[in-house]
């Protein structure tokens, strides 16, 4: 098993932390290190493993592990990327040892007495406001790392302390009932997306769709962008226009019929949305496709 040191990142003299975005890990085998590591999944899915235990990580999830903790990060999703922050405890000023965040760090250590230790979680679930705050802090820390500020003026220690504060809040958020509610919402959203992918050409309304899956309008409107990265209306528009593009490319059906098949009863709305998504009107798009097809056939004839 690999044992990594902070020197692994070839840091400048005196720097006690390193942060970067990763889409895959060079350390593919189980490993441990002599520093704390915080990871936050910004996009896609990853897996956090320890021994035979595997915990799935999705966008918005995070974890923190102390020095000496053997683990492994797997990237089954090629589009996934996450922030990885590594830091040593001695990056903070002496007064930091009196803070609650320092006590949180100490309670995670493997050598801490059993009675004072808190369990190391393979995944910390954060609510949406804390996700946004954590991402902002990570981005600020990346900028700080890349700046030319002298060590005595760097804000890195304060930013890492703020990140730890957000994670410590996430550690103790709610109880099992709240966690079950989060899981229930995630399950409902997964079912909803499967339904939309099968029925996107139908007349779908946000309120009715939310009600169908046991969610209020406000909760559904909050959850939908978290799971898809876009709004309910834009999600449906993209699905419908993508389908219309497929029909234009593969059939000779009239544009008006294609609009109806894609879920549009109003032709002007179809034209407006098609142009917005593809950058060109449906009729122009078809002419372009016909021209490309003609050129392909002509070239095939000559060659």
Residue 273 sits in a domain whose CATH number is 1.10.10.60
Q: Which of 132, 151, 173 is the last residue of a domain?
A: 173
pLDDT tens per residue across span 14-51: 889 999 998 876 656 889 999 999 999 999 999 999 98
Same domain, 16 and 97: yes
Same domain, 53 and 120: yes
> Alpha-carbon distance 55 to 259, whole Å?
44
Full domain range(s) for residue 208: 177-229
pLDDT at 189: 83
pLDDT tens per residue across span 95-138: 787 787 888 888 888 887 665 678 898 999 898 899 999 999 99
> Alpha-carbon distance 58 to 45, whole Å?
5
Whole-model pTM over 0.85? no
Same domain, 91 and 186: no
pLDDT tens per residue across span 256-292: 999 999 999 999 999 999 999 999 999 999 888 755 5
pLDDT at 100: 78
If one compares 231 and 289, the residue with the highest pLDDT of the two is 231
CA distances from 229 to 186, 241, 277 (A): 14, 18, 16
The runs of H, that is alpha helices, within the chain are 100-108, 128-146, 156-171, 176-199, 206-212, 217-228, 232-250, 255-261, 267-278, 282-302
CATH code, domain with 71: 2.60.120.280
Same domain, 277 and 250: yes
**What residues form DSSP beta bridges with 4?**
33
Q: Work out whether the CA dihedral 249, 255, 260, 264 comes out positive or negative.
A: positive
Residue with tokens 């250590």: 109
Same domain, 30 and 152: yes
Angle at 9 between CA 8 and CA 10, to 5 degrees: 95
> Alpha-carbon distance 33 to 3, whole Å?
5
Same domain, 168 and 209: no
Same domain, 201 and 163: no
């Amino acid at each position: 098993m690999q044992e990594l040191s902070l020197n692994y990142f070839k840091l400048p003299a005196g720097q006690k932390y390193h942060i970067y975005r990763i889409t895959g890990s060079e350390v593919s085998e189980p490993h441990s290190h002599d520093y704390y590591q915080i990871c936050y999944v910004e996009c896609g899915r990853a897996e956090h493993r320890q021994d035979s235990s595997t915990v799935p990580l999705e966008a918005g999830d995070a974890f923190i592990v102390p020095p000496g903790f053997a683990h492994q990060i797997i990237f089954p999703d090629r589009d996934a990327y996450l922030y990885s922050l590594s830091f040593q405890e001695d990056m903070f000023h002496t007064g930091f040892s009196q803070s609650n965040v320092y006590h949180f760090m100490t309670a995670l250590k493997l050598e801490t007495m059993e009675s004072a230790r808190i369990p190391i979680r393979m995944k910390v679930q954060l609510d949406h406001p804390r996700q946004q705050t954590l991402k902002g802090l990570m981005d600020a820390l990346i900028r700080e790392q890349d700046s030319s500020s002298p060590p005595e003026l760097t804000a890195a220690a304060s930013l890492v302390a703020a990140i730890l504060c957000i994670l410590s809040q996430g550690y103790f958020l709610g109880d099992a009932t709240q966690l079950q509610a989060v899981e229930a919402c995630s399950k409902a959203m997964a079912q909803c997306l499967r339904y939309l992918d099968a029925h996107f050409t139908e007349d779908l309304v946000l309120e009715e769709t939310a009600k169908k899956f046991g969610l209020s309008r406000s909760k559904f409107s909050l959850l939908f962008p978290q799971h898809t990265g876009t709004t309910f209306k834009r999600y449906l528009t993209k699905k419908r226009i993508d389908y219309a593009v497929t029909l234009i490319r593969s059939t000779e059906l009239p544009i008006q019929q294609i609009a109806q098949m894609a879920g549009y009863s109003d032709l002007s709305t179809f034209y407006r949305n098609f142009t917005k998504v593809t950058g060109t009107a449906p009729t122009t798009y078809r002419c372009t496709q016909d021209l490309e097809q003609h050129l392909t056939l002509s070239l095939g004839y000559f060659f």
